[in-house]
């Protein structure tokens, strides 16, 4: 969507250069700000950078009223950051969003798989033959063993897994690096894939510096979308509903299962690459809710009206 506001592009450049925003984040901000700029010009006859508080409130009332609270919050967040940028660059003296409250959001608990369900997925890939099976096994084992984001997983360089130390070296959001320990199954699966990787490249006529190369992809590595498709297929064979599966669900499973088995929150935060421990704390809520559900379902006094009276 083309935008009549010429100052959006410098703001997006700043997000990339100074804040290490990903390409996906940049695209989301570009779309949200272009949406707002188009409204301002069409309905309020003002460029976005000149909008006042009344203009912003009109935008929220007329354009965002039917949107989900999360969408409203995201688009308002884009505006806040844009106007703060303008103020910091002395392009305007005020922030028209400073008195506008974001919609209240219920905190959704992350979707995840049980340990039994993850093992069912691994069992399926273990039965797959050939190089494709070895590659998928390595990716699945690595994802569940380390909690990587899918973008981090597919773009791993060839030397990312340090076999002698049993760890994977990851460059995450904003270029921040972290080292995540791996269990033996993941290390063995990656080693088995690397043993046949050279023949895979030779047959396809491609040389790649990535751990999971691809001929079709412009990036040189297997795309997130392609891995997502493969994961759905594996899930179907494992008897899992496709809508329950995504690479991020396995990241959630990694964190949830660690917390279940007594891992401390700081360690999980470090392995996930969360900048703020508050982001990691959601997994303690998952464990608490599951415990509450267990009590509600199995404690003899949890729902006394439905229990038979004792003799």
Tell me the pLDDT tens digit for each residue of 273-308: 988 887 787 777 655 555 555 555 555 665 544 444
| Helix (H), strand (E) at residue 180 | strand 177-181
- Could you give all domains of the chain from N- to C-terminal order, each with its CATH number? 8-88 (1.10.150), 115-294 (1.10.443.10)
Residue 173 has pLDDT above 90, yes or no: no
- pLDDT the model gives residue 302: 57
Q: Which residues lie across from 178 on neighbouring strands?
A: 170
> Looking up tokens 């990691």, which residue turns up?
280
* pLDDT for position 134: 94
- The SS3 of residue 167 is strand
* Mean pLDDT value of segment 73-95: 90
- Give the residue with greater pLDDT, 4 vs 10: 10
> For the residues 235-255, what does the mean pLDDT come to?
90
Which positions are annotated as active-site residues? 149, 173, 248, 251, 274, 283
Tokens, residue 6: 């010429």
- pLDDT band for 1, please (50, 70, 90 cuts): very low
pLDDT band at residue 245 using 50, 70 and 90 as cut-offs: confident
Residue 258 has pLDDT above 80, yes or no: yes
What does the alpha-carbon distance between residue 287 and residue 283 come to, in Å, rounded to a whole number?
6
Residue range 110-134: mean pLDDT, rounded = 89
């Amino acid at each position: 969507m083309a935008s009549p506001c010429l100052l959006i592009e410098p703001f997006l450049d700043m997000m990339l250069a100074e804040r290490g925003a990903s390409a996906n984040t940049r695209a989301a901000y570009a779309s949200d700000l272009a949406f707002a700029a188009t409204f301002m010009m069409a309905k309020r006859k003002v460029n976005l950078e000149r909008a006042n508080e009344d203009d912003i409130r009109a935008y929220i009332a007329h354009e965002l009223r039917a949107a989900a609270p999360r969408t409203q919050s995201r688009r308002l967040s884009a505006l806040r950051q844009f106007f703060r940028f303008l103020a910091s660059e002395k392009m305007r003296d005020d922030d028209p969003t400073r008195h506008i409250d974001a919609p209240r959001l219920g905190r959704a608990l992350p979707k995840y798989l049980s340990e039994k369900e993850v093992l069912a997925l691994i069992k399926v890939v273990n039965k797959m033959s050939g190089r494709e099976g070895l590659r998928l096994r390595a990716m699945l084992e690595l994802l569940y063993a380390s909690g990587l984001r899918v973008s981090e997983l597919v773009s791993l360089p060839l030397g990312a897994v340090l076999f002698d130390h049993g760890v994977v070296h990851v460059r995450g959001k904003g270029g921040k690096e972290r080292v995540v320990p791996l269990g033996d199954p993941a290390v063995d699966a990656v080693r088995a894939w690397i043993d046949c990787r050279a023949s895979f490249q030779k047959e396809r006529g491609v040389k790649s510096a990535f751990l999971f190369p691809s001929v079709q992809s412009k990036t040189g590595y297997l795309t997130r979308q392609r891995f997502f498709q493969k994961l759905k297929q594996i899930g179907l064979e494992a008897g899992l509903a496709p809508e329950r599966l995504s690479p991020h669900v396995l990241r959630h499973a990694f964190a949830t299962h660690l917390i279940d088995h007594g891992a401390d929150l700081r360690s999980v935060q470090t392995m996930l690459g969360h900048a703020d421990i508050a982001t990691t704390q959601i997994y303690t809520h998952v464990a608490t809710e599951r415990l509450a559900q267990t009590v509600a379902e199995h404690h003899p006094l949890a729902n006394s009206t439905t229990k038979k009276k004792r003799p």
